[in-house]
Amino acid sequence: MEARDNGALKEAKDKLEKRVEELTWRLDVEKHLRVDLEVAKGQEITKLQSALQEMQEKLEEAHAAIINEKEAAKLAIEQAPPKIVEVPVVDNAKVELLTSQNEELETELGTFRTKAEDLEKKLFEIQKQSDELSRETQERDSKINQVQDMIARLETNLSNMESENHVLRQQSLLASADDDNKTKQIESLESKIAILESENQLLRSNPAPAVQAVVTPEVIEPAVVKVLENGHQHGEPKMEEVVVPPVKNLSKQQSLTDRQQENHDVLIKSLAEDRRYDNRRPAAACIVYKSLLHWHSFEAEKTNIFDRIIHTIRSYVENAETSGELAYWLSTTSTLLYLLQNTLKASSSSTKVPNRSRTATGNLFNRMVQNARSSSSGLGISNGYSGMVGRADTTSMIEAKYPAVRFKQQLTAYVEKIYGMMRDSLKREISAILTLCIQAPRAGRVRASRGSLKSIHSSALSRQASSVHWQNIVKCLNHTLETMNNNYGTSNDN
């Protein structure tokens, strides 16, 4: 079924790629057609312009000829001797000839003007068609970009589904192995029960060796109970993990990935907006931990939920304006890191995680761990995956893949970073007041060495100012402690 689903996904991907190739081919063909059309249009325009210029030149020549002939006629009339009066017939013939030629030229000019108007209309239509073609090409480019984005999303979804299928295969193999072990245990239990029943029948029939026969049930019975308890502990969680609905087609896979993306968005929104505390623990850290545990994200080889969580934490920590916000994120990240430390164990294929968090953060992180242990019962997390009560059960810890190990390293780094930011901020506040506390007694001692009454009064004032500075330091420390207590960063008992 999984191979068929993967084949269906690959076929869909191939179809989309073929569709993209066809669209790109059509786009190239249309671009070539558009270029050819523009070239033909330019050639036709140049031809029409050249024809128009020729017609205009002919018209100008005709006008010039008419003007020259009129001038020649005037000159001939002026230069003609007055004796020749009977020759107007010839002049009238020339005038009629010229007028006829003028009319012909005017008709030709009208035809040329109509042709020019027709050419302008054709040019306007060609420009309109070219604009429509350019708009259609832009729309097709946008459609091709959308198809490419869809292919990229499908590839990411395909990689996510492949990782999920890999995890499901591993879980099904483990479940089948557990089923085989349980069947073997049941068969061994049935054989032991049959042996015990036969021994009981022998004991009822032979009461003499009863003292020796009673010892065997007492030795065998704890083993039977232990096997039953182990089967109950390991059997029920595995059966809950194996029940996975089969994926039938691509649309269902798409709906599953969309629902997973919606779940991730809801989790990130809860991490960013939910600032409640539940039994002295940040609710967002518990929600994130339980969600990741429920989705089997720690066992996935490819997932982006860890990067989104770290990006959210980084953005809020970098934009924090008060120490209260830093204390909240310190409490949230340290709680989540503590839960991961008691849940995950590094696999053989993943890199080793350096154990820096306890040495770097010091007593503060240890106090937060004690608070987590004291309030673990209120979280509703048992001794199974989380290990919040007592020591963690190594048999029920999750074998973390590389993304989970990397997420744990990044959380450790952010716990150290937030703690360092709060420490440096407190140092800056106290150091300025400490310099005033150190300078005030020195000035008092210098003035008191003079021995006058005025110097004694000034030394008393300097001691009073020094006490005010020390009170300010105590106020700063109390404010920091109150901020940490409000965010359950340290224990009030300490």
Per-domain boundaries in the chain:
2-161, 179-242, 250-424, 425-486
Tokens of 329: 């994120």
The pLDDT value recorded for residue 226 is: 35
pLDDT number for residue 309: 94
Residue 209 has pLDDT above 50, yes or no: no
Q: Write the DSSP symbol of residue 396.
A: G
pLDDT-derived band at 306, boundaries 50, 70, 90: very high
Higher pLDDT, 196 or 297: 297
Question: In angstroms, rounded to a whole number, what is the distance separating the alpha carbons of residues 116 and 129?
Answer: 20
Question: Using one digit for the tens of pLDDT, what is the confidence trace for 45-80?
Answer: 999 989 899 998 988 998 898 999 888 888 888 887
The residue among 313, 381, 374, 372 whose CA lies nearest residue 338 is 372
CA distances from 87 to 80, 93, 390, 487, 491 (A): 10, 10, 141, 127, 137
Kindly report the pTM of this predicted structure.
Answer: 0.42
User: Rounded mean pLDDT of 454-461?
Assistant: 59
Q: End-to-end distance of the chain based on CA atoms, in angstroms?
A: 59
Q: If 0-12 CB within 10 Å is exposed, 13-18 middle and 19+ buried, where does residue 48 land?
A: middle
pLDDT at 289 over 90: yes
pLDDT at res. 368: 53
How much is the pLDDT for 250? 60
Which runs of E-coded beta strand occur in 395-486? 398-400
pLDDT at 196 > cutoff 80: no
Quote the CA–CA distance of 109 and 50 in Å, as a whole number. 16
The kind and range of the H/E element at 277 are strand 277-278
Is the pLDDT reported for residue 365 higher than 60?
no
Lowest mean pLDDT across 138-142, 227-231, 407-411 = 227-231
DSSP label at residue 401? -
- The pLDDT of residue 83 is 56
Q: What is the pLDDT of residues 118-167, one digit of tens each?
A: 988 998 989 888 888 888 888 888 888 888 878 877 877 777 777 777 77
- Lowest mean pLDDT segment, chosen from 224-238, 374-388, 440-454: 224-238
Kindly state the average pLDDT of the residues 219-224: 35
- The pLDDT, as a whole number, for residue 146 is 83
Chain centroid to CA 313: 14
Instruction: Write out the two tokens for 13.
Output: 């991907």
Q: Tokens 């070539």 belong to which residue?
A: 32
Q: What is the mean pLDDT of the chain?
A: 75
Which has the minimum average pLDDT: 143-147, 240-244, 278-282, 315-319? 240-244
Helix/strand/coil for 395: helix
Per-residue pLDDT at 397: 82
Partner residues linked to 398 by β-bridges:
344
pLDDT tens for residues 75-131? 888 887 665 555 555 567 888 888 888 899 989 888 888 998 998 899 898 988 888
Q: What is the pLDDT of residue 407?
A: 93
Higher pLDDT, 93 or 303: 303
The band of 230, judged by pLDDT with boundaries at 50, 70 and 90, is very low
More confident residue, 184 or 53: 53
Write out the DSSP string of 55-97. Answer: HHHHHHHHHHHHHHHHHHHHHHHHHS-TT--S-HHHHHHHHHH
pLDDT digits (tens, 9 = 90+) for 432-444: 888 877 765 554 5
Does 386 or 428 have the greater pLDDT score?
428
For residues 472 and 265, the answer to whether their CB atoms sit within 8 Å is no
Strand 277-278 versus strand 281-282 pairing type: antiparallel
Q: Whose CA is closest to 444, among 430, 465, 474?
A: 465
Q: What is the largest CA-CA distance in the chain?
A: 185
The top-scoring range by mean pLDDT among 151-155, 391-395, 402-406, 464-468 is 402-406
pLDDT-based confidence at 23, cuts 50/70/90? very high
Query: How much is the pLDDT for 332?
Result: 92
Phi and psi (nearest 5°) for 277? -120, 130
